[in-house]
Chain A
Amino acid sequence: MDMQAFNDAQAARRARLMMLQQSIRYVLLFAVGLVMLYPLIWLVGASFKTNSEIFAGAGFLPRNPTLDGYIHGWQTSTPYTFGRFFWNSFLIILPKVIGTAISCTLAAYAFARFDFPLKKVFFVSVIAILLLPNVVTRIPQYILFRDFGWLDTFLPLWVPSALAGDAFFVFMLVQFLRSLPSDMEEAARVDGANSLQTLLYIVVPMLAPALISVCLFQFMWTMNDFLGPLIYLSSVDKYPVSLALKLSIDTTEAFEWNRILAMSVLTIAPALIIFFAAQRYFIEGISAGGVKG
């Protein structure tokens, strides 16, 4: 065998090995992908099944599709429909997201563009809040809100966020803003703009991608938040969907599985739709700052 043929054979073997390795990777990824997504696919399928079919097989396609779960689940066993609970979730989320965006932008602007007394101390406090387990402040916060007369209102859910309480977002925006050049801002200032005008007309437009990430994450987390509403809200007419779902587990007859599954699908639908519509911002936001979850 001459050298040329030997080398060719070697190269062919190496190529085959590469192919094999690559195939193994694909098979592995598909398998993991299936495990990741099948529970969700099954959830959606099962929500259209009859109750007797749900635990009858592992397939996700319903044999006799029915909207029974949705119709009865929507009614709930309370005087309200799920529409009411979605509205409540919306009422909690909207002010919270707006308050978060504004207060965190102000804080990030201060940290990234100004020098002031105790700046280092305050920035360390951002990191400290980031690492501080909520569990240790929860009880006094509850007592505080009780003394304010805020229990069973949305205020305990809104106000801490509107005062930049979600340190993660402050941190993320500071990192983002520091990476942006400040030439434009200086030019604006030379032209006579004050710092607030500079913030509104120069900084906020540049921050927009990061701000969208902040709003989206806050939306998701608030939509999924359970413990906050559980502690602070006591009347059913103020329940967001997360609490309403828990309530329907507790009050629905044990065998009416499809109602609960149907409402589960509805409660995760907004988050999924927003995620698929704007996933770029999630992936970028998470890669930029690192995130919990």
Chain B
Amino acid sequence: MKGQRFLGLAYLAPYIIGLLVFTAVPFLASLYLSFTDYDLLSAPEWVGWDNFKKLFTRDRTFWKSLNVTLLYVFITVPLKLAFALFIAAILNYRLRFINFFRTAFYVPSILGGSIAIAVLWRYMFASEGLVNMALGTVGLAPVDWFGDPGNALFTITLLRCWQFGSAMVIFLAALQSIDKSLYEAAAIDGASKTRIFFYITLPLLTPVIFFNLIMQMVQAFQEFNGPYIITQGGPLKSTYLLPLYIYDEAFKKFDMGYASAIAWVLFVIIMVLTLIAFWSSKKWVYYAGDKRS
């Protein structure tokens, strides 16, 4: 389309304005703010590395919160993805009612981060709630889910694993697109089902595993609704994830500079892990038609 070089830009104009005003400028502004002391009332005051120094040397809440966040992400994401892949692999057999199961498993994801589900979780894991009653009927002792710092974080992990549906739907779509002749060839060569899964299915799935891994990780690092409603960060800050800490510093204490510094630390962690994932993907992600195959 010659002579229309700028027509595309015209159609893109709303996006470009949004990109600049609501993403690019705030992104840089937040970096600037992290080096300031700013309470919204007087102008930001440049304090150099002070926020970061305080964060890393004197702020025990930050270390606790960082610890809890990493623990949460490293438990939740693999657990959720493994479960999603496992169920998708089962659904991929020729079963009846596959649409019914797919829908049933997807419903919790639709409700996503809704407050109602967090409320439900609070009731379910209460000391006399559904979960402890269920444990009782199979003869197990009730668990103090919210009183014990060792357990509370796990209830949020369970909530997010319960919502494995969207990752599962992506896995299932990828599984169904695998060329059936590959399986037939392997079966003729006498490969067992386990071998077929690990040597054919899994390598072909690595691109979607990679995609799901990145998306779920970025999301898990920003978990807010779950701990905010279910545990309020407690007990003993055992569910006080960094987004909660940032929220408290920014919108309760109005310490915008310090909150921005925490946000940037969180951002750098996410970015480094994402880059590691991208970098390592060259070693484990298989793309069809690739020379390395």
A interface list, Cβ under 8 A from B:
22, 25-26, 28-29, 32-33, 35-37, 39-40, 42-43, 46, 54-55, 57-58, 103, 106-107, 109-111, 113-117, 119, 122, 125, 129, 131-144, 146, 159-160, 162-165, 170, 195, 199, 220-221, 223-224, 226-227, 231, 242, 245-246, 249, 257, 260-261, 263-265, 267-268, 271-272, 275, 279, 282-283, 286-287, 290-293
Contacts and interface: CB of A to CB of B under 8 A. Distances in A.
Nearest to A168: B215
B95 A282 contact: no
A248 to B, nearest CB: 9
A290 B211 contact: yes
A227 B110 CA distance: 18
A211 to B, nearest CB: 16
Given A114-B7, A129-B19, A227-B225, A242 B115 contact: yes
A41 B102 CA distance: 17
B20 to A, nearest CB: 9
Interface SS of chain A: helix
14 contacts: A25-B93, A107-B14, A110-B15, A114-B8, A116-B5, A131-B218, A131-B274, A132-B27, A135-B266, A245-B119, A257-B123, A268-B116, A271-B114, A279-B106
B106 A43 contact: no
- Residue among B120, B134, B224 with the highest chain A CB neighbour number at 10 A: B120
Contacts of A246: 115, 229
Nearest to A165: B18
A58 B14 contact: no
Interface residues of B, number: 96
Given A39-B120, A293-B166, A141 B110 contact: no
Contacts of A43: 116, 120
Interface string B223-247: 0110011000000000000110011
Given A133-B270, A140-B26, A195-B4, A268 B114 contact: yes
A43 B134 CA distance: 15
Contacts of A283: 102, 106, 169
A133 B222 contact: yes
Contacts of B7: 114, 116, 195
Given A122-B15, A135-B266, A279 B103 contact: yes
Given A116-B5, A119-B8, A29 B40 contact: no
Contact of B30 (A117, A139, A199): A139
Given A58-B130, A272-B107, A163 B22 contact: yes
A263 B95 CA distance: 37
Contact of B109 (A138, A223, A272, A293): A293
A13 to B, nearest CB: 17
B225 to A, nearest CB: 5
Contacts of A143: 29, 40, 256
A64 B211 CA distance: 49
B23 A129 contact: yes
A135 B119 contact: no
Nearest to B170: A290
B65 interface: no
A213 B120 CA distance: 28
Contacts of A119: 8
B26 to A, nearest CB: 4
Query: Which of A32, A106, A107, A133 has the most chain B CB within a 10 Å cutoff?
Result: A133
Interface stretch (B51-59, B139-147, B257-265): B257-265
Contacts of B8: 110-111, 113-116, 119
